[in-house]
Chain A
Amino acid sequence: MKHAKHGQVSTEIIILLVVIMGLFLILLTVSEKRDDQLAGIKKYLSAKDIADDVAWNINSALISGFGARRSFAIPAKLSDGTAFNVTVDGPSRSVLVEWGSRMYVAPLLTSNMTGNTTLAQGLVNVTNILGVIKVEE
């Protein structure tokens, strides 16, 4: 009788442990998935912020008319420290921010542009010279 009782308790404990471990495994998997998603959203929003800022300054210089000048800064990394590239592509009227295998595109209102097309970290000046937008670092 005593032995039988011991046997029962052990089996129950083992089943309980297996179930608890299974639950923790599920919890960990879900939590890791959410962490990845959150990191992805943060990166996307940070890249979007930079692309929209560059596009807004260029569009604003265009709308403001001849002689309008805008200055803005490009950060070294995205908010989580990821490296990125900023390209101002006149012919496709786009500002592209690329990080890893992903990309965000902000629209431009003009294709008439000169100057730097690949922007690095630091201060950028945008000038409207008789309708031509000049981008320089």
Chain B
Amino acid sequence: MRNRAQVFSVDFIIALMVFVVLLIASEWVWSAATENIYFTEGRNDLELLSRNAASLLVQSTGNPSYWNNLSDFNSTAIYSLGLCKNRPWLIDEAKVARLNSLNNTNYTTFKTLLGIRGPSYEFHLNISKFDGVKFNNLALIGKWPNATAENVVRIERMAVSSSDRNWTKVILLVWKECVGATCY
């Protein structure tokens, strides 16, 4: 009689505890796996759009190609953005100067034109030219990644300046700014 009661109570309680622990563990593993999927997909997303944006800048003239002479800098007047003069990898310094002058007021337009439009996606663009000794900044556009930035993707492209055929470096940083504890 006493043995039966013991079997029911102690064994069953232990079995129940094991079951609950397994259930909680499986829930935790599931959450981690789901988060990992979204995190990886987010990273792939950032990689893809930053490569596209960097390629667009150093390989195209933009549309219209004289966009730097337009008084309106918006996504209606400009179909696409590009920094080349008349052929790929030949950077037009007038276009770089125009971008630099627009920096403070047109961040959202830059994002639209560069296709950086995911949730909380931000960017920083640095264009510099080699003077024989070091690279000097021609343009610094956008924000800097702060402490909450996750998945910072850095794309670097080399081109030449149309004015003196010196090396010109285009560095694009794209990241997602986190809100709250989770970031994916």
Residues of A within 8 A of B (CB): 5, 9, 12, 16, 19, 23, 26-27, 30, 34, 37, 41, 45, 48, 52, 56, 59, 62-65, 93, 105, 107-112, 131
B16 to chain A, nearest CB (A): 7
Chain B residues with CB below 8 A from A34, complex form: 30
Pair B48/A93 contact, Cβ less than 8 Å: no
Residues A23 and B19 in contact in the complex (CB < 8 Å), given A41-B34, A59-B52: yes
Pair B23/A26 contact, Cβ less than 8 Å: yes
- Residue among A5, A27, A63, A112 with most chain B CB within 10 A: A63
Chain A residues with CB below 8 A from B113, complex form: 109
Q: Is the interface of A mostly helix, strand, loop or mixed?
A: helix
Bound complex: CA of A26 vs CA of B16, how far in Å? 13
Return 10 A-B CB contacts under 8 Å, by A number: A5-B1, A41-B34, A56-B52, A59-B56, A63-B55, A63-B56, A65-B60, A107-B115, A109-B56, A111-B76
Bound complex: CA of A108 vs CA of B81, how far in Å? 12
B83 to chain A, nearest CB (A): 13
Residues A48 and B41 in contact in the complex (CB < 8 Å), given A16-B8, A63-B52, A63-B60: yes
B21 to chain A, nearest CB (A): 13
Chain B residues with CB below 8 A from A63, complex form: 52, 55-56, 59-60
B144 within 8 A of A: no
B88 within 8 A of A: yes
**Closest residue on chain A to residue B44 by CB atoms:** A52
Chain B residues with CB below 8 A from A105, complex form: 117
Pair A52/B75 contact, Cβ less than 8 Å: no
B28 within 8 A of A: no
Pair A52/B48 contact, Cβ less than 8 Å: yes
**Closest residue on chain A to residue B12 by CB atoms:** A16
Chain A residues with CB below 8 A from B114, complex form: 109
Chain B residues with CB below 8 A from A45, complex form: 37, 41
Chain A residues with CB below 8 A from B120, complex form: none
B138 within 8 A of A: no
B168 within 8 A of A: no
